Amino acid sequence: MKKTVRTVLPGARDILPEIGINMSLVRRTTCRRFTIALLFLVLPEVVFAKPSVLILDCALQDDTMLPDVPDELARTASVAPVLRATLREFGYTVPDYVGSDENLALTETGYFLAHPKIAAELGRSHNADWVGICTQFKFSFLVSILRVHLVDVAKNQVVTHAETWMRGSMTDFRMTRRSTRSLGEQVDDLLQQITVADDPADGANR
């Protein structure tokens, strides 16, 4: 009977020590590379975590000859929910907000803009980093401007604002939604720019 002779080829574990490579060093290097790769997967979520943004109800500032008609008020009221949903889609934490007639009036009259510290207090009560003060300024029957002023809660200051034109009739909710989403995209861009430009020490204190 013939005997089968099996040839066992040397593996890396056998060869590497013979050519002067320390196996423990190989293991440490492999482990280090795995750790670095894992950090690249995790760090973007940690370093670039998006802030919390409280969006107040949108107020109508109607400068036309027939101000505050019910259809226009309904369109204005539809803006904030769409804006909140848009920012949530972009990864922001957007606290639920139960508005009041008093706060809506403070937005409409510009009181929150003139006293951003009061708006910032609302943000703090909702654990938010930013407060969005939203208004629709209607100066024509077919054209208006949507604006969101952003209050930095930590600084009690209005830092920047986004705006977009809204055209069409007051019952055209598809156009309203499109304009509001455009406004949300601008808010996202602005907050990302501010986050990148912020001093890390300042961001740590936020």
What pLDDT, on a 0 to 100 scale, did the predictor assign at position 98? 94
Q: Is the pLDDT of residue 203 over 70?
A: no
The Cβ of residue 13 has, within 10 Å, a number of other Cβ atoms equal to 9
Cα atoms in the 13 Å half-sphere on the side-chain side of 198: 20
Q: Where are the alpha helices (DSSP H) in the chain?
A: 12-18, 23-47, 70-77, 79-89, 101-108, 111-114, 116-125, 173-197, 200-204
What pLDDT, on a 0 to 100 scale, did the predictor assign at position 34? 53
Residues 6+ apart with CB under 8 A from 99: 56, 57
Task: Residue 96: name the closest of 84, 82, 105 by CA.
Answer: 84
Q: What are the tokens at 96?
A: 């639920």
At 168-183, the pLDDT tens digits run 888 999 999 999 999 9
> What is the C-alpha to C-alpha distance for residues 64 and 134, in angstroms, rounded to an integer?
19
What burial letters (b/e) apply to 128-147, b meaning 16+ CB within 10 Å? Answer: bbbbbbbbbbbeeeeebebb
Q: Are 128 and 158 in contact (CB under 8 A)?
A: no
Task: Residue 170: name the closest of 144, 196, 205 by CA.
Answer: 144
Q: Report the pLDDT averaged over residues 71-75.
A: 95
What pLDDT, on a 0 to 100 scale, did the predictor assign at position 195? 81
Per the prediction, the chain carries an average pLDDT of 83
> What is the C-alpha to C-alpha distance for residues 121 and 119, in angstroms, rounded to an integer?
5
At 44-61, the pLDDT tens digits run 444 457 999 999 999 999
At 19-47, the pLDDT tens digits run 454 555 445 545 555 544 454 455 444 44
CA–CA distance from 76 to each of 11, 153, 190 (Å)? Answer: 72, 25, 23
The alpha carbon dihedral of 191, 150, 128, 60 has a sign of: negative
